[in-house]
Each structure stands twice: as C-alpha cells, then as structure tokens.
Amino acid sequence: MQIGVLILAAFLSVIVPFAANAQTSTADGVDALVRGEYQRAAEILKPIAERSWGVGDDVATFFMATLYENGLGVQRDPVRACALYLRASLQMSPSPGPFPAQAQALGQVLQPSMSQAQNAECLLLTQLGFEHGFQPAIFQLEQRHSIRLDLSTETLRVEATITYEGKEKRATVEAAWVPSGVRFLPIEHTELTTGRPEPALHRILRVDAGPGPAVVADVVRRRGGPG
C-alpha cells in the first residue's frame, strides 16, 4: 500500500504542474511526500484537504488520506483517512485524474476494517467537515427526566431524545439541519419560570451552528412530561 502510493506520488511530482498556478502548495506537499518528509507534507496538505466541502483538491485530499491511514507525519487516524478517501472520490476536479477512482478503491478496502461507530463518524466528517465541533449533550432536568441531544449521521440534523418516567420520545430540533462547513458552539440550557396564566417552568435549549441559531424552546415543562 505505502509503496504503491509513493510510486504514484513520484509520478505526480512530474505531472502536477497542470495545477501549479492554482495549487502550488499541493505540489510542494507532494514533493515533500516523495522526499520522505512526511511531517512537512502533512503540514502543507492538511489545510488544503480538510477545508470546506466543494472547494477541495482531490490530489491533496487523496495524499492526506494516505498519510492518515499509514500514520506518516501525523497520528494514524483511520476515520479521517476514510472521510478524505470519500471526499477525494467525490471531488469534481476541473482536471480529472486518477485520484477519485484510487480514493474510492482504497476507501472500500479501509471501511470493512472499521467499527460501525467509526464508519458513522467517517460519513459525518465527509459531509460536514472536520471542524464541526458538535459535542453530544445530556441535561438532567429533574429526577427521572432528562434530554439528550445528538447529531444524526443519517439526517444531518440535531435530534433530541426526551426521557420521562422511563419513557422516551425522539424529536428533530426545528430548523437544525446542518450544512457543510459549519461549526457548533457549546449547547446551552436555560430555565425560565413564568407565572401566567399558571406557574410553569419552561426549559430552553439553544443550539448554535454557523451564522444563525437554531433554538428549541419550551421543550418540556414541570408538568405534563415530554410534549
């Protein structure tokens, strides 16, 4: 695997000037890879490969995936390698080359060796990006009453699981579809007590991602359990 990648990299170091005007740093990264300067190669290729979806570079993305898979210049990370292989296989490059097909083949070899959770995270990174920053959160509202927020890898939405008296109810957070390239801030939980028309404790959960907030308001009250 590593020998084949290095041969491909050496070949690319000769032909890569096709993109030199727009991606000179990609050529520099590949040259460093060919010379065996893996840490330097990773420093150059990583920010190019991991930037927002749709503005990537299939050459940089492919070779950064091989560095992650083999632990060359970076800590070995099969999940990131998987995500980058998938991204490289889907890149719409203005100058098509061998990399999308190679990335697809290597990704298909890698994925069966990963756990179900790792494959789910791979798909999440592929679609949302590497710096989405979402952290699942659980809030204990009262005794035997809690709410958990997760980011669904299937729907790309923030989903709430409300547990009350041993029963669960799941709901999608309104307007919380997550586009590629966003970054989440920590989830906030606020209690508001109102006196009219009758005393009630309202709980507001706020999820911020990107330029506009998505808010779940009045998810539960002191009386009545999950709505």
Predicted confidence at residue 44, as pLDDT, reads 94
Asked if 55 and 25 count as a contact pair (C-beta separation under 8 A), the reply is: no
Burial category of 80 from C-beta neighbours within 10 Å (exposed 0-12, middle 13-18, buried 19 and up)? buried
33 Cβ neighbours under 8 A, 6+ residues apart: 6, 9, 41, 45, 63, 67
Chain segment 70-89, per-residue pLDDT in tens:
999 999 999 999 999 999 98
Q: How confident is the model at residue 41 (pLDDT cuts 50, 70, 90)?
A: very high
User: Is the model's pLDDT at 98 over the cut of 60?
Assistant: yes
Output 40 or 214, whichever has higher pLDDT. Answer: 40
In whole angstroms, how far apart are CA 154 and each of 14, 71, 79, 128? 41, 29, 17, 12
SS3 content of the chain, % helix, strand, coil (to 5): 40, 25, 35
User: Is the model's pLDDT at 158 over the cut of 70?
Assistant: yes
Question: Three-state DSSP class for 135?
Answer: coil
Asked if 202 and 192 count as a contact pair (C-beta separation under 8 A), the reply is: yes
Predicted confidence at residue 81, as pLDDT, reads 96
Q: Give the position of tokens 């706020």.
A: 206
What is the identity of the amino acid at 204? I
Whose CA is closest to 213, among 179, 175, 181?
175
Q: Output 116-119 pairs: Cβ under 8 A, ≥24 positions apart.
A: 118/78, 118/79, 118/82, 119/82
Computed over every residue of the chain, the mean pLDDT equals 74
Predicted confidence at residue 226, as pLDDT, reads 46
Residues 184-207, mean pLDDT to the nearest whole number: 62
Residues 198-219, mean pLDDT to the nearest whole number: 50
Residues 2-8, mean pLDDT to the nearest whole number: 45
Q: Where are the domains of the chain?
A: 2-128, 137-216
